[in-house]
């Protein structure tokens, strides 16, 4: 006997990113739709069989997606804006891709739906758009098809759906505003879910998992009523034939646990990693309904370290004091971890044994479930438990005393830059001699096939480091020349030498480890390969100084130095679990501080320190914002730049402009200039900048780089005038939304040319 085991979701990209490769080949016209479909089918079968082999009881289906599961949910509900329907594609995949990435061709010209971060992850979902004309109805057979596909293989799966509450809370109207949850809308959405539940009952599904991660956020007035009225209509469709698991993750649901428990779900999934204490306390306080099973989310879906069985068993035990009905589950979908440690032979065995990726987590789940039902004697005799315990006995890695000493000697003054910003801004204006509305870019230029191929050649030893450097210098030269020609003011070197803005820095810091193939989906087919923080972090050697100094030597313009900030390096790496995030960020801050000072010494006058991921890890509950995050994250950034001269201009960049609520904290980073994304719905952030008396100079992106579309000069001019309505002209910078690494040269240069001419035209107008 062992407790029931359940996996919330499995990575779909494939062990070797097969799904990414076939979809991108299809987009390029290098393979057929049928080939793409059949690769997808093979991957689904492989992933189900792996889970079956690991003796998982509740194996998910419908966790597959060609692009994004929110987009799939929108399509399931027929939430497809007219502009995509009008393209009248023959195949559903073509409509899906048009919504996900835009379409420009013989059938028309539409932009993609907006993309946002999925809670506190580096995964992005597409934001469904609902208007009064939306005809909500069951519009797809995808969940049923995949269930039947598995059934044909002899595997009974648990279909997974994003729940109606989360869907409605994340969907927007065409003005990018929250929806009015009127009765008609709520009933229509509930009716589709009820139909889906009934259909699965008919198909013979035992369990359905409905994910409601939005439940872990603070509740607004009406939220609980909305949740209740949805499920009051959905749950009766079970008719005693199918069980519904209400699954939550990324935090606790203590504020609604009582309500949820009273609704009579067959299962309630709780995250016992994030929000562990609150969830446990709620279960202890309110109990568990008689026919409800608690799914104990003990296997972390957000990190790659081995599970500590003793801790997991303790959590299961605590629940068993309240109810006998406890299943063991992943804490969230495994979508956010890489596929398998198999093949990571670059890691020594006694290092690799500390890691569990998705495939290894399946075994962990099974072993914890077996142990959860074992007697004390059986536990004592368990080789698995003993081996697991050994991983956590003693210290895994020796601390670096030099790092500890440096941190201990920090004083408050190390976190404060002098003189005050207003004074610096004056000095910088004189020192840098830039025009009004200075133009710049965010750092990277297109990472072409040739650039990546050159890096692959170096990795394989086919070229020497000297040859590689020579190639990159030529790239830099060409990029600088081009920037000068079109008339940008503050130049960049282009970041060609970097594989990724985080992994590259990791490779030049002590304390990091790297994998060959540990890819995780970020958006669509785009993946990232986060480095692992293994030990204490310090700078091994100057990282960017030679490249930036070289670039500066090739131009009379100001050359901006480009760094990634400590919060972002940590957030886009796999952090340690034996010391706090705050401690790790401080170590990183000191390492990057060394780099900042070396860049300054090398004559770099403008230094950008990207904090692209700062907003991403803002805790989901407001009460946690400061004490659990901002109170150390913002000072860590200040520590990085506090020692530079007043005339050295510090820039930062954030990919998203969702920081209205924390605008004062962003200002308190004490950067001189910030650039950020400001496409649709952003006018709100300009209001916040205005109302908060934001001191930092700012470049709200004037065009969207996530699309290949070229913005016209007029469009950009309009945009600049919009910005000038809300901001002091002396504080405005003109730049794109984000880095250009994912774009092609064909659209990049004409877009930037239009940006420069637009800025010049506005400047000329202002001078009159
Ligand atoms: N870490 C991180 N998170 C981020 C961003 C970011 O830039 N970095 N940006 C935001 C948006 N997210 C993004 C996520 C991925 C990419 C992206 O460009 N990903 C590339 C991977 C780029 C990469 O690391 N390429 C390697 C090459 C690795 C590779 O694919 N090699 C081939 C083999 C190549 C060969 O041997 O020929 C392979 O392994 O199969 C390199 O340049 O060196 C992709 O999925 O296509 C962009 C933005 C938010 N989160
Ligand atoms: Zn960005």
The CA-atom distances, in angstroms, between 527 and each of 125, 353, 452 are 14, 24, 15
pLDDT, residue 656, reads 79
- According to the model, what pLDDT value does residue 657 have? 77
pLDDT of residue 680: 56
Any idea what DSSP says for residue 381? H
Supply the pLDDT for residue 290: 96
Mean of per-residue pLDDT scores for the chain = 96
Residues 735 and 438: beta-carbon distance below 8 Å: no
The finding on whether 538 has its CB within 6 A of some atom of ligand 1 is no
Substitution site in 528, 530, 701 for ligand 1 pocket (most atoms within 8 Å of beta carbon): 528
pLDDT for res 679: 65
Strands 103-105 and 207-211 turn out to be unpaired
The pLDDT, as a whole number, for residue 682 is 65
Check whether 738 is labelled as a binding-site residue. Answer: yes
Q: What is the mean pLDDT of the segment spanning 238-254?
A: 98
**Quick one: which atom of ligand 1 is closest to the CA of 503?**
1
Q: Which residue from 526, 612, 705, 738 has its CB within 8 A of the most atoms of ligand 1, so it is best to mutate?
A: 526
The whole-angstrom distance between residue 414's C-alpha and the CA centroid of its chain comes to 31
The pTM for the full model equals 0.96
Enumerate residues 6+ apart whose C-beta is below 8 A from 343: 516, 517
CA of 742, closest atom in ligand 1: 18
pLDDT in tens, 310-361: 999 999 999 999 999 999 999 999 999 999 999 999 999 999 999 999 999 9
Ligand 1 atom 2: residue of nearest CA = 528
The interaxial angle of helices 358-372 and 33-53, nearest 10 deg, is 30
Q: How does pLDDT run across 153-162, given as a tens digit for each residue?
A: 999 999 999 9
The torsion region of residue 235 among left (phi > 0), alpha (psi -120 to 50) and beta comes to alpha
pLDDT score, position 394: 86
441 within 8 A of 664, measured Cβ to Cβ: no
Distance in angstroms (rounded) separating the CA atoms of residues 298 and 326: 12
Give residue-wise pLDDT tens across range 552-595: 999 999 999 999 999 999 999 999 999 999 999 999 999 999 99
Q: How far is the CA of 23 from the centre of ligand 1 (A)?
A: 16
For the stretch 600-654, pLDDT in tens is 999 999 999 999 999 999 999 999 999 999 999 999 999 999 999 999 999 999 9
Contact 409, 586 (CB under 8 A): no
Please report the pLDDT score of residue 153 as a whole number. Answer: 98
pLDDT at residue number 56: 98
495 labeled binding residue: yes
Tell me, using a 6 A CB cutoff, whether residue 458 lines ligand 1: no
Q: Is 17 annotated as a binding residue?
A: yes
Q: Where are the extended beta strands (E) located within 66-135?
A: 103-105, 108-110, 115-117, 124-126
- Please choose from 522, 616, 737 the residue to mutate so as to test ligand 1's pocket, defined by most ligand atoms within 8 A of CB: 522
Q: Whose CA is nearest to atom 11 of ligand 1?
A: 522
Q: How far is CA 477 from the centre of its chain?
A: 33
How confident is the model over 408-415, as a mean pLDDT?
98
Cβ–ligand 1 distance for 343 under 6 Å, the answer: no
What pLDDT sits at residue 64? 98
- Least confident range of 402-406, 509-513, 515-519, 657-661: 657-661
If you average pLDDT over residues 277-283, what whole number do you get? 98
pLDDT digits (tens, 9 = 90+) for 668-727: 999 999 999 876 556 788 999 999 999 999 999 999 887 778 889 999 999 999 999 999
Bridge partners of residue 698, in order along the sequence? 674, 732
Confidence class for position 658, pLDDT limits 50, 70, 90? confident
pLDDT digits (tens, 9 = 90+) for 505-560: 999 999 999 999 999 999 999 999 999 999 999 998 999 999 999 999 999 999 99
Q: What is the pLDDT of residue 756?
A: 98
Q: Which of 42-46, 361-365, 764-768 has the lowest mean pLDDT?
A: 764-768
**Is 706 in the active site?**
yes
16 lines ligand 1 (CB under 6 A): no
Percentage, residues of the chain above pLDDT 90: 94
Q: Which of 354, 581, 641, 706 is catalytic?
A: 706
pLDDT of residue 230: 98
Give residue 135's pLDDT. 98
Closest C-alpha to 644, from 441, 414, 443: 414
CA 118 to ligand 2 centroid distance, Å: 16
């Amino acid at each position: 006997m062992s407790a029931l085991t359940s996996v919330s979701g499995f990575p779909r990209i494939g062990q070797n990113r097969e799904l990414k490769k076939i979809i991108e080949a299809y987009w390029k016209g290098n393979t057929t739709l049928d080939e793409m479909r059949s690769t997808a089918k093979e991957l689904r079968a492989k992933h189900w069989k792996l889970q079956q082999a690991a003796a998982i009881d509740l194996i998910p289906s419908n966790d597959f997606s060609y692009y994004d599961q929110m987009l799939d949910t929108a399509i399931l509900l027929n939430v497809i804006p007219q502009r995509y329907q009008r393209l009248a594609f023959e195949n559903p995949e073509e409509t899906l891709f048009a919504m996900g990435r835009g379409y420009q061709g013989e059938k028309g010209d539409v932009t993609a739906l907006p993309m946002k971060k999925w809670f506190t992850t580096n995964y992005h979902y597409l934001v469904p758009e609902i208007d009064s004309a939306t005809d909500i109805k069951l519009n797809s057979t995808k969940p049923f098809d995949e269930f039947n596909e598995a059934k044909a293989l002899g595997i009974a799966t648990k279909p997974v759906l994003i729940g109606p509450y989360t869907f409605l809370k994340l969907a927007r109207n065409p003005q990018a505003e929250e929806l009015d949850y009127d009765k008609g809308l709520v009933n229509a959405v509930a009716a589709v879910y009820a139909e889906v539940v009934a259909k699965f009952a008919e198909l013979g599904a035992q369990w359905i998992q409905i994910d409601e991660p939005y439940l872990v956020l603070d509740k607004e007035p009406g939220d609980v009523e909305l949740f209740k009225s949805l499920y009051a209509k959905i749950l009766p469709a079970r008719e005693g034939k199918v069980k519904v698991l209400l699954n939550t993750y990324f935090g606790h649901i203590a504020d609604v646990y009582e309500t949820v428990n009273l609704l009579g779900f067959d299962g309630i999934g709780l995250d016992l990693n994030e929000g562990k204490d609150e969830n446990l306390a709620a279960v202890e306080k309110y109990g568990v309904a008689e026919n409800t099973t608690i799914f104990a989310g003990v296997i972390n879906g957000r990190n790659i370290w081995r599970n500590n069985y003793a801790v997991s068993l303790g959590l299961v035990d605590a629940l068993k004091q309240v109810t006998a009905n406890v299943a063991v589950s992943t804490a969230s979908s495994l979508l956010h971890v890489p596929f398998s440690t198999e093949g990571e032979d670059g890691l020594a065995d006694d290092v690799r044994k500390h890691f569990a990726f998705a495939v290894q987590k399946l075994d962990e789940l099974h072993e914890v479930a077996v142990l959860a039902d074992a007697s004390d004697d059986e536990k004592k005799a368990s080789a698995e438990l003993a081996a697991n315990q050994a991983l956590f006995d003693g210290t895994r890695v020796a601390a670096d005393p030099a790092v500890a000493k440096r941190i201990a000697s920090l004083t408050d003054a190390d976190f404060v830059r002098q003189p005050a910003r207003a004074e610096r801004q004056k000095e910088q204006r004189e020192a840098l001699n830039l025009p009004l509305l200075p133009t710049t870019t965010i750092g990277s230029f297109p990472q072409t096939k040739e650039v990546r191929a050159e890096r692959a050649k170096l990795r394989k030893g086919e070229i020497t480091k000297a040859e590689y450097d020579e190639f990159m210098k030529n790239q830099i030269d060409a990029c600088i020349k081009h920037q000068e020609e079109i008339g940008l003011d503050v130049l960049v070197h282009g970041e060609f030498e970097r594989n990724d803005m985080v992994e590259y820095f990791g490779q030049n810091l002590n304390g990091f480890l790297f994998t060959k193939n540990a890819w995780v989906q970020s958006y669509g087919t785009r993946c990232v390969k986060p480095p692992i923080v293994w030990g204490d972090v310090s700078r091994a050697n100057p990282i960017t100084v030679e490249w930036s100094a070289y670039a500066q030597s090739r131009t009379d313009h100001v050359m901006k130095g480009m760094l990634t900030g400590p919060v972002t390096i940590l957030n886009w790496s796999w952090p340690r679990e034996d010391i706090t995030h705050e401690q790790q960020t401080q170590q990183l801050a000191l390492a990057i501080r060394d780099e900042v000072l070396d860049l300054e010494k090398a004559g770099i006058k403008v230094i950008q320190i990207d904090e692209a991921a700062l907003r991403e890890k803002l805790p989901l509950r407001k009460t946690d914002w400061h004490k659990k995050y901002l109170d150390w994250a913002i000072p860590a950034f200040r520590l990085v730049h506090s020692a530079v001269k007043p005339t050295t201009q510090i820039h930062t960049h954030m990919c998203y402009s969702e920081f209205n609520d924390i605008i004062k904290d962003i200002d308190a980073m004490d950067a001189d200039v910030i650039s950020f994304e400001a496409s649709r719905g952003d006018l709100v952030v300009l209001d916040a900048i205005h109302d908060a008396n934001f001191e930092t100079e700012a470049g709200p992106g004037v065009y969207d780089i996530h699309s290949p579309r070229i913005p016209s000069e007029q469009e950009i001019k309009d945009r600049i005038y919009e910005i000038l309505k809300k901001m002091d002209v002396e504080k405005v910078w003109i730049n794109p939304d984000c880095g250009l690494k994912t774009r092609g040269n064909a659209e990049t240069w004409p877009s930037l040319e239009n940006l420069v001419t637009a800025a010049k035209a506005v400047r000329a107008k202002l001078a009159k």
